[in-house]
Structure 1
Amino acid sequence: MASTSRTRTGRVRGRGGRGGGSSSLPPPPSTLPLIIEEFFIVVYEDPLVKKALPKKIADYLDGQELAKVYLRAADCGPRFWSVEVLFDGQGRMYLDKGWENFAIAHGVDFGWFVQFKYEGDDVLTVKVFDGTMYRKYYYSDDEDTDDESDDDVKPCIHPLYIRGL
């Protein structure tokens, strides 16, 4: 028979029983692989100039020799913005050419938050929040024709304001 004792909180502590002494706890965090999926930037300076991304995402993507990433507004379906990336040699990564077009089309302004989720394959899904921390929603252009080529797909640029959410 296994010996047990009660702790001050009333929990039973002891030897034996289920598990046979082995732990089913996950390994300590230092042994887990680093996976970065989501991050954000705050627009403190001119919203149209290149934007520095957090160092951890730059470290994560370093060595993959990215020339560009594809930004996709989270609620606009399969419409992508091609944005060149720069690595400065000091561990920083910037969204460069193409960022200005994305920022203009989505109305990004001073004090806004832009949340990114790295989806793999150089794709970043983006959510935009205004200075009041209210998320901006966009919808796709319904006037697209079926004969558009993939290279000519218009990005989602129309703001959709949803009240009461």
Structure 2
Amino acid sequence: MASTSRTPTRRGRGRGKGRGRGGRGDGSSSLPPPPSTLPLIIEEFFIVVYEDPLVKKALPKKFADYLDGKEPAKVYLRAADCGPRLWTVEVLFDGQGRMYLDKGWENFAIAHGVDFGCFVHFKYEGDDVLTVKVFDGTMCRKYYYSDDDDTDDESDDDVKPCIHPL
């Protein structure tokens, strides 16, 4: 059996693929940048309805921070799977970085069955539009569809619920 001689090597130097800095030999790191240097992108968040479902709802502070400098006076809620209708909801900011869904939220909540214990998922689509999914107290999603034929002269004061599919 032939023996092979091994030449000792020093770790962390040279052009090898060792575990030293970067592992590429060029001094760069293959690790992603730390979270504090990444841009803040908030696209999805949720709230859990613990109090009266019809009063103004606080959105996460991180989302309000994301909108800093471009705080909208209103947002437009679109229920997932409930047609193209946009529900106009006024937004309040309390001066301490908190954002609330206010006037218009009650109509949306009634029409989509938002109740105590519901989990409400929001996805920010840009242009002040949020797509909303409502999950009930059993954590099962509520599905809806709309009857777009009856929306011709409908005002925001008329609350017409989406119809749950049979």
The TM-score range, normalised by the shorter chain, is 0.7 to 0.9
2:156 is the counterpart of 1:150: yes
> Is contact 1:79–1:154 with CA below 8 Å preserved after alignment?
no
What is the rounded CA distance, in whole Å, between the counterparts of 1:140 and 1:66 in structure 2? 27
What is the CA distance between 1:15 and its match in structure 2? 9.3
Among the aligned pairs, what percent are the same residue?
93
Q: If each structure's strand is expressed as a fraction of its own residues, which one has the higher value?
A: 1
Contact 2:59 2:98 in 1 (8 A): yes
Query: How far is the alpha carbon of 1:23 from its aligned partner?
Result: 3.3
Secondary structure of 1:30's aligned partner: helix
Summarize deviations over 1:77-105 as a string: whole Å, max 9, x none. Answer: 32110000000111111000000000000
2-side partners of 1:92 and 1:2: how far apart? 75
Residues 120 and 5 from structure 1, CA distance in 2 versus in 1: closer, same or farther, beyond 3 angstroms?
farther
Q: Indicate how the Cα distance of structure 1 residues 127 and 53 shifts in structure 2: closer, same or farther if over 3 A, else same.
A: same
Aligned-partner Cα distance in 1 for 2:69–2:114:
30
1:68 touches 1:122 (CA, 8 Å); kept in 2?
yes
**1:18 to 1:123, Cα distance in 2 relative to 1, 3 A:** same
The answer to which of 21-30 and 126-135 deviates more is 21-30
Task: Output the TM-score relative to the length of structure 2.
Answer: 0.75
- Is the alpha carbon distance of 1:4 and 1:78 closer, same or farther for their aligned partners in structure 2, counting shifts above 3 Å? farther
Q: Find the structure with the greater CA-based Rg.
A: 2
Moved more, 55-64 or 43-52: 55-64
Unaligned runs of 5+ in 1: 160-164
- Conserved? CA contact 2:110–2:161, under 8 Å: no
Change (3 A) 1:24 1:72: same
Contact 1:83 1:96 in 2 (8 A): yes
The 8 Å contact of residues 83 and 97 in structure 1, kept in 2 or not, is answered as yes
Contact 2:22 2:28 in 1 (8 A): no
Q: Which moved more, 1:118-127 or 1:54-63?
A: 54-63
Range with bigger deviation, 127-136 or 147-156: 147-156
Conserved 8 A contact 1:141-1:158: no
Contact in 2 for aligned 1:4/1:12 (Cα 8 Å): no
Match of 1:8 among 4, 7, 10: 10
